[in-house]
A and B are shown apart, each in its own frame.
Chain A
Amino acid sequence: MNSLFRLPEASTHAATVDHIFYLLLVLSGATVVLVFGLILLFAVRYRRGSAAKRGPMPEILSREFEIGWTVATLLTFAFLFWWASSADLSSLAAPPGALEIHVVAKQWMWKTQHSNGAREINALHVPLDKPVHLLMSSQDVIHSFFVPAFRVKKDVLPGRDTDLWFQASKTGTFPLLCAEYCGTNHSMMRGKIVVMRQDDYAKWLVQQPEGDDLAHEGARLFVSRGCSGCHAGSSNVHAPRLAGLYGRAVQLADGRTVSADDAYIRDSILQPKRDVVAGFEPIMPSFKGLLDDGEIQSLTAYIRSLREEQQND
């Protein structure tokens, strides 16, 4: 995968990280040369009994000297902070229109699911030059999604979604590693990222076994798990309608207002008593233990799709 001293820069982000890395390397190298050089110089020149001049200390070695290098260090570090952080900020949020792919981590494998429902295990095929947005959650302990060639890493948590985005800039196969210690076979929790040209990716995707896409699978679960018994429009039970819910601000019974995002929907499924919508009785049972993370992702995708349908009307 990589030569002995160089890691491929296979994403747009990788070059940015490497620039910062190399600047730090140069600065550190200069500091090492300065400090080690001075120590060696003094060690030789001022070894005990040498003929080098001692006598009264020169005036310049005073308090101002000390303040001078303190301020110089401070300014250098402030610059480094600014430079590194501005690079980081500009790459925080995934660009709109990014390809969404769901990742579920469990001891000790990676399960990925593409937007059309195609599933992979310990592998992920992505198109070249297109932003890819990963929505990730874990079924058990904390894992960490690490692709060295992309210079990206993000912890994958149980009970909470994290996300990560990248744009691959080189075709090829790159290692995917788990970077957060997760138990016995942590070091076997590896996979591969395959970057393909966009048309190859489209062909590959079509050839995958037919799987329902997430929203359709969610729609099936919505009926089979009984959600529709209360939340469907035809129901007699007084429960909130879900169409158009996603992304909206929701007024809660206790006066708070929350935004209906992925985390809110997950919480409402697993802990329905926590955020009760204003005007409704807390009668919904918890689905904790009845749905796994993949199913919650599907349901969330379905609820999100309800918004899209409404906007199309």
Chain B
Amino acid sequence: MTDALLAGELPLPPRPDYLRHGSTISSWLATTDHKRIAILYAITITFFFFLGGAAITAVRLELFQPNGWLLTSDTYNKLFSFHGIIMVWFFLVPSIPNTLGNFLLPLMIGAPDVAFPRLNLFSWYLTVAAGAFTVYALVAGGVDTGWTFYTPYSSMFSNTHVFAAAAGVFVVGFASIATGVNFIATTHMLRAPGMTWFRLPLFVWAIYATSLIMVLATPVLAISLLLVIAERVLGLPIFDPARGGDPILFQHLFWFYSHPAVYIMVLPAMGVVSEIIPCFARRRIFGYDFMVYAMLAIAGVGFFVWGHHMFVSGQSALASLVFSFLSFIIAVPSAIKVFNWTASLYRGQISFESPMLYALGFVGLFTTGGLSGLFLASIPVDIHVTDTYFVVAHFHYIMVGGSVSAFFAGLHFWWPKVTGKLYPESWAKFAAILMYAGFNMTFLPQFFAGYLGMPRRYHTYPAEFQIYNVMSSAGAAVLAIAYLLPLGYLTWSLFYGGKAAKNPWGATGLEWTTGSPPPPKNFDRQPRVDRGPYDYHAEGMSAGTDPPEMQNARETR
């Protein structure tokens, strides 16, 4: 007799996993399964990632020459604007939450689905509709305001398709809000018996903190874009100073969303890395509760630092001082997280599979990016380097070096779970190392160019900056190859990859107790949780090589 029968259960008939559970187009487009919606999102954001990447490829090519050689200034301005809008709202914001988060959140807390499955599908449709608006803006002739839509340029002066682009961002904001509400409700309502708040994996905490920011901040983005549209289309005087408006008002509203949005992009990345490092070091995460508090602190304080984008805007000195102070304060929880990831390696049994390489790459690039943030929190230094390539380098280190590396780390880590297939490991390791090298080749020179005074959004530039731009563009070519490689070998693995076992990495966590790929409702039996996360070894001990104790979710066939 098998264990299941001994436990008093009836043997279940074989049933297809979520990928094979229906193969019609409508079984995908009308699905309410969070895992299938995650796949829909993954396809959508991959499309947008390469679209935004194509735009910046043209920009980097153009910058080989100080006075331009391919594009007109208008085209150049439209390309970097499109790159920013697409990458922020159609790739980075939805990247980890809507793909990995959608897929893993219910699995990690032992739930059959998210709290509002149909809302989840609706939010994907909103994203697609918003993407259509934005791509329309490009096809119809482009938008040239930059991703920041600063007034009065966007509301009174630009002769491009600002309305379509702003409408796209406005709509995708609602997709964000819907997802945030859904994840918050899911985390509160659907945790398995025994899954207390402090037994949640850090990835769940990260998604939860991110959702809070999405729900609280995104409405302000909607408001600011509506006001731009109201002035541009209806002629209402809001930002026009000649009619009593204030152009700076827009910056306050915009950054009230867009600074927290940086944490929407980076908190999920922190969550991913906090899952991967313990697994490959075979260690409990160091300082679990501090990691949780750090994320909540980042989410909270993140709402009160927006003014550090405006030190040169003419805001009052007192306001600048307060924002500068809070910007230093918010660096403390980030520093704590870096120290804790590092300390988690101490006395580990570390192996270096591709997810771990990507995750360590994240820690390195996030540390570099975070330290450059201290320069921007110091008012006198910020005044010199703001609106230069120093800032460009800084936020790419956080959002591309950090978040995109972590996205690839998570993609590789959970790929066997999501697809049931194994990818060629040596290619993956090669891509991870190439990505790290290519990224630094691209963005490290920009710190120098920025400090020496090269402003951002410059189509033509003084000739002495050419050396830095050539280095950057050459690095970007390496980076482009590193991003294309996974597209190749991961697609290959879908058809020819070996079959993945239930728990190929020997990780803790409920998602590894169910099949790869999981069945439609995730678990055949309601999981019960009787231990904290990252139970790779006994408390107070260091790493061992034994397989970890798994959560109490007994398998059924």
**Residues of A near any B CB (own CB < 8 A):** 1-2, 4-5, 7, 13, 16-17, 20-21, 24, 27-28, 31-32, 35-36, 38-39, 42-43, 46-49, 52-57, 61, 66, 69-70, 73-74, 77-78, 80-81, 84-85, 87-89, 91-92, 107, 140-142, 144, 146, 148-149, 151-155, 157-160, 162, 175, 177-188, 190, 270-271, 274, 288-289
A162-B314, A289-B242 known; A144+B387 contact, CB < 8 A: yes
Q: Which residues of A contact B156 (CB under 8 A)?
A: 141
B58 contacts the other chain (CB 8 A):
no
Segment among B41-49, B126-134, B445-453 that sits at the interface with chain A: B445-453
Q: Which residues of A contact B31 (CB under 8 A)?
A: none
Cross-chain contact A56 with B360 (CB below 8 angstroms)? no
Q: Nearest Cβ distance between residue A152 and chain B, in whole angstroms?
A: 7
Bound state CA distance, A2 and B246, in angstroms?
Answer: 38
Bound state CA distance, A23 and B314, in angstroms?
Answer: 27
B77 contacts the other chain (CB 8 A):
yes
Q: A81-B328, A181-B457 are in contact. List 9 more A-B contacts (CB 8 A).
A: A32-B371, A35-B338, A43-B360, A56-B541, A70-B336, A146-B387, A152-B383, A155-B313, A188-B73
Cross-chain contact B383 with A183 (CB below 8 angstroms)? no
Cross-chain contact A182 with B347 (CB below 8 angstroms)? no
Count, A-B residue pairs, CB within 8 A: 258
A78-B328, A84-B380, A175-B462 known; A46+B347 contact, CB < 8 A: yes
Binding site secondary structure of chain A? mixed
A42-B348, A42-B350, A144-B312 known; A28+B374 contact, CB < 8 A: yes
Bound state CA distance, A148 and B386, in angstroms?
Answer: 11
Q: Which residues of A contact B14 (CB under 8 A)?
A: none
Q: Nearest Cβ distance between residue A77 and chain B, in whole angstroms?
A: 4
Cross-chain contact B287 with A66 (CB below 8 angstroms)? yes
Look across to chain B and name the residue whose beta carbon is closest to the beta carbon of A148: B453
Cross-chain contact B158 with A183 (CB below 8 angstroms)? yes
Bound state CA distance, A57 and B282, in angstroms?
Answer: 14
Cross-chain contact B379 with A84 (CB below 8 angstroms)? yes
Cross-chain contact B375 with A21 (CB below 8 angstroms)? yes
**Residues of B near any A CB (own CB < 8 A):** 73-74, 77, 144, 146, 148, 150, 152-153, 156-158, 241-244, 246-248, 281-282, 286-287, 290, 312-314, 317, 320-321, 324-325, 328-329, 331-332, 335-336, 338-340, 342-343, 345-352, 360, 363-364, 367-368, 371-372, 374-375, 377-381, 383-384, 386-388, 448, 451-453, 455-462, 464, 467, 540-545
Q: Which residues of A contact B458 (CB under 8 A)?
A: 186-187
Q: Which residues of B contact A35 (CB under 8 A)?
A: 338-339, 342, 363-364, 367
Look across to chain A and name the residue whose beta carbon is closest to the beta carbon of B77: A184
Cross-chain contact B244 with A46 (CB below 8 angstroms)? no
A1-B462, A57-B542 known; A151+B380 contact, CB < 8 A: yes
Q: Nearest Cβ distance between residue A159 and chain B, in whole angstroms?
A: 2
Q: Which of A38, A48, A56 contacts B540 (CB 8 A)?
A: A56
Look across to chain B and name the residue whose beta carbon is closest to the beta carbon of A81: B328
Cross-chain contact B347 with A186 (CB below 8 angstroms)? no
Bound state CA distance, A54 and B241, in angstroms?
Answer: 67
Q: Which residues of B contact A54 (CB under 8 A)?
A: 347, 349, 541-544
Cross-chain contact B247 with A158 (CB below 8 angstroms)? yes
Cross-chain contact A185 with B455 (CB below 8 angstroms)? no
Q: Which residues of A contact B381 (CB under 8 A)?
A: 17, 20-21, 24, 84
Q: Which residues of B contact A144 (CB under 8 A)?
A: 312, 387
Look across to chain A and name the residue whose beta carbon is closest to the beta carbon of B462: A175
Cross-chain contact A73 with B360 (CB below 8 angstroms)? no
Cross-chain contact B460 with A187 (CB below 8 angstroms)? yes
Q: Nearest Cβ distance between residue B301 and chain A, in whole angstroms?
A: 12
Q: Which residues of A contact B331 (CB under 8 A)?
A: 73, 77
